[in-house]
Structure 1
Amino acid sequence: MTLPSIFDARTLLPDPPLALREKTLLGFEGRYRKTHDQLRLLLNLGELDAWSKTHHQKKLLLCDLVAEQYPLVIFHGDVGTGKTATAECIANRLAKESRTEDAQLFKLSNRVRGSGKVGEMGTLLTQAFHEVVQAAGKGRRAFLIIDEGDSLAASRNQAHSHHEDKVAVNTLIQGVDDLRRFNGRIVVFLCTNRLSVLDPALQRRAAIVEEFTRPDDSERQALLTMDLEGVGLTDHEIRELVLATGPRNKQPGWTFSDIRTRLYPAALAQAFPGRALSYKDLIDVANAQQPSPVMEDK
């Protein structure tokens, strides 16, 4: 269900389309395994006392310290590297593995910035957290994804930071702080192209900080091989496409998004509807277009 104002999407988990989508995310399994143990701990903070008494015959002081974690995960990196899609699919996998039938995934809309009225952005953020908390209730799980997080959570110390922006950051920090009382049942994924501009107080609260980079040669080869199955390209032609989408002439390599949302449609448009897609269509587009510029993290 799509809401008109605060959220771009509100999805019941587990969600079959997201389960299918994770299969198209190159490197998802490795990324999931890398973060799984810490995410599992974050999602089950309420069970620490029982674990401690079972395995250590008493409640360890360590449990209280770990339970103070903030339910915040930060995914950062260049544009088009799959941060938001990965966050959505990880939330879906976690809901499936925990056998939670009524978990919900919220994707915050940039409309939460409001129309510029005094106090509006802080009010909308407060409302967003309230709706997520209401959805979680007394025993359910909820996941909140904040895309382009630097637009909402830029450092309050920046010279050009307006009062409304500072209020929004304060509200966001307070919202994350309040979620600790749910013992991991509510988790926030904040995705950003520029980690360095996030407010330091928010960075310090992150239980997990994961970087996403542009695909290297082997990753682009795996992506092209997977996506172009059935087109009839030779191994040599795939390797030529890998080179054409790699760094050259002081330009960076193509992102996952560049390949899927620019290379494929432009190449297919040359062939459709009269003939089959060919290697020439793909290599011509790859040589003619440039990758997305790097988003400088300053």
Structure 2
Amino acid sequence: MTSNSDLFGNVIEYPDNAASERFSALVGIDHIKERLVIEASVLINPQVLEEWSAEHHGLSLDAVRAVKQRAALIVLAGDVGTGKTELAESVGDPIARSLGLPVLTLYPLSLSARGRGLVGEMTTLITQAFEHVRSSVQTARDDKGRIRNAAILLIDEADAIAQSRELSQMHHEDRAGVNALIRAIDSFRRDQLPVLIVLCTNRSDALDPAIARRAAHVFTFARPTAEQREHVLSKILAGTGIGAEAIAKAALLLGPQDEPGWGATYSDLRQRFVPDLVIDAYASNSAITETALLKAAESFVATRPFGTSDV
């Protein structure tokens, strides 16, 4: 039996103030954030739909029952650095607050739990991970059926274990792992457990079709537009005294400058570009200036898209 510390990464319990701050810091993808919280809340606790249906229609609609029959599975797909993992690791906080849950636990499947390709290992690890999450919500409902706690099982880089079985070169052990994953997802849906399964992937087309079909929603993440880059910079550079015109120009410079080309990702902006700008100003014992901003933007090299060449 694999220990929990080997199965999962950093387990987080929500509500959590640090997660709340991380969630708020994800600017530029507000439409995804808002929809994800609503979708996830309904998947974890479908009873809220019954209450809505009774209030607005006076009965339980067949349409509501159709929604409740879906697997509590969401896919976050898109390029590297577009905020998928950061959102997946922080969205539990607004979900817990929205549902009024005292505890919602995130279980991120550890990369080490992917197995070493040994016969039966992948299947065993996936089964153990799902069984642990299942056991954590066995007493999630009170005697009136109300949810007292819930869980999120996060599988990052999901294409590594949920890749399509249509691939001719796929190892039989990997096929068995995908089969185990599908069975586990179906068992959670059948038993109506208050567990949300989140798959993050850079290659949604690589996911097994059977898993993709089970997803209640696939959220697609793209690199920020010029307007979104401007929004991120405006937020993060507030208080520097840098004008809107300079920020807008920097946002354009941080976009694709040739064809084909690519602009900065959200993580490029938050984790590389702005921190470098701050460190450079600190090193020279000066304020962050418009000139420094534009110079840095002009020379910045964005992270290349997944699957592209450095050349």
- Measure the CA separation in 2 of the matches of 1:225 and 1:60: 45
Q: How do 1:23-42 residues align onto structure 2 when only pairs under 5 Å count? A: 23-42=24-43
- Tell me which moved more, 235-244 or 283-292: 283-292
Contact 1:87-1:189 at 8 Å conserved across structures: yes
- Measure the CA separation in 2 of the matches of 1:32 and 1:86: 8
Instruction: State the shift of 1:53 in Å.
Output: 7.0
Instruction: State the shift of 1:240 in Å.
Output: 2.0
Q: Which residue of 2 aligns with 1:93?
A: 94
Give the secondary structure class of the aligned counterpart of 1:158: coil
Instruction: State the shift of 1:62 in Å.
Output: 4.7
Instruction: State the shift of 1:52 in Å.
Output: 6.3
Instruction: State the shift of 1:38 in Å.
Output: 3.4
Contact 2:28-2:224 at 8 Å conserved across structures: no
Instruction: State the shift of 1:54 in Å.
Output: 7.3
- Measure the CA separation in 1 of the matches of 2:236 and 2:55: 48
- Measure the CA separation in 1 of the matches of 2:301 and 2:214: 37
Give the secondary structure class of the aligned counterpart of 1:23: helix
- Are 2:138 and 1:137 equivalent residues in the alignment? yes
Q: Which residue of 1 aligns with 2:168?
A: 159
Q: Which residue of 1 aligns with 2:285?
A: 275
- Measure the CA separation in 2 of the matches of 1:63 and 1:268: 51
Q: Which residue of 2 aligns with 1:232?
A: 241
Q: Given the superposition, is the C-alpha separation of residues 280 and 118 from structure 1 closer, same or farther in structure 2, using an over 3 Å criterion?
A: farther
Q: Which residue of 1 aligns with 2:204?
A: 195
- Are 2:285 and 1:285 equivalent residues in the alignment? no
Contact 1:81-1:214 at 8 Å conserved across structures: yes
Q: How do 1:3-82 residues align onto structure 2 when only pairs under 5 Å count? A: 4-46=5-47, 61-82=62-83
Contact 2:74-2:199 at 8 Å conserved across structures: yes
Instruction: State the shift of 1:86 in Å.
Output: 1.7
Give the secondary structure class of the aligned counterpart of 1:115: coil
Q: Given the superposition, is the C-alpha separation of residues 57 and 261 from structure 1 closer, same or farther in structure 2, using an over 3 Å criterion?
A: closer
Q: Which residue of 2 aligns with 1:115?
A: 116
- Measure the CA separation in 1 of the matches of 2:253 and 2:49: 51
- Measure the CA separation in 1 of the matches of 2:58 and 2:178: 42
- Measure the CA separation in 1 of the matches of 2:18 and 2:29: 15
- Measure the CA separation in 2 of the matches of 1:257 and 1:99: 31
Q: Which residue of 2 aligns with 1:254?
A: 264
Give the secondary structure class of the aligned counterpart of 2:27: coil
Gaps of 5+ in 1: none
- Measure the CA separation in 1 of the matches of 2:52 and 2:199: 29
Identity %: 34
- Are 2:103 and 1:102 equivalent residues in the alignment? yes
Instruction: State the shift of 1:222 in Å.
Output: 0.7
Q: Which residue of 2 aligns with 1:186?
A: 195
Contact 1:12-1:104 at 8 Å conserved across structures: yes
Instruction: State the shift of 1:132 in Å.
Output: 1.2
Give the secondary structure class of the aligned counterpart of 1:88: helix
Cα deviation digits, residues 108-150 of structure 1 (max 9, x gap): 1211112332221221111111111122222120011111111
- Measure the CA separation in 2 of the matches of 1:101 and 1:153: 32
Give the secondary structure class of the aligned counterpart of 1:8: coil
Q: Given the superposition, is the C-alpha separation of residues 51 and 289 from structure 1 closer, same or farther in structure 2, using an over 3 Å criterion?
A: closer
Instruction: State the shift of 1:103 in Å.
Output: 1.6
TM norm structure 1: 0.89
Instruction: State the shift of 1:61 in Å.
Output: 4.9
Contact 2:32-2:219 at 8 Å conserved across structures: no
Gaps of 5+ in 2: 141-148
Contact 2:254-2:300 at 8 Å conserved across structures: no
Contact 2:109-2:156 at 8 Å conserved across structures: yes
How many residues were matched structurally? 296
What RMSD in Å do the two structures reach over aligned CA positions?
Answer: 2.5
TM norm structure 2: 0.86
Cα deviation digits, residues 73-117 of structure 1 (max 9, x gap): 011111111112222332221111111112211111211112332
What code does the residue aligned with 1:149 have?
A
- Measure the CA separation in 1 of the matches of 2:279 and 2:53: 60
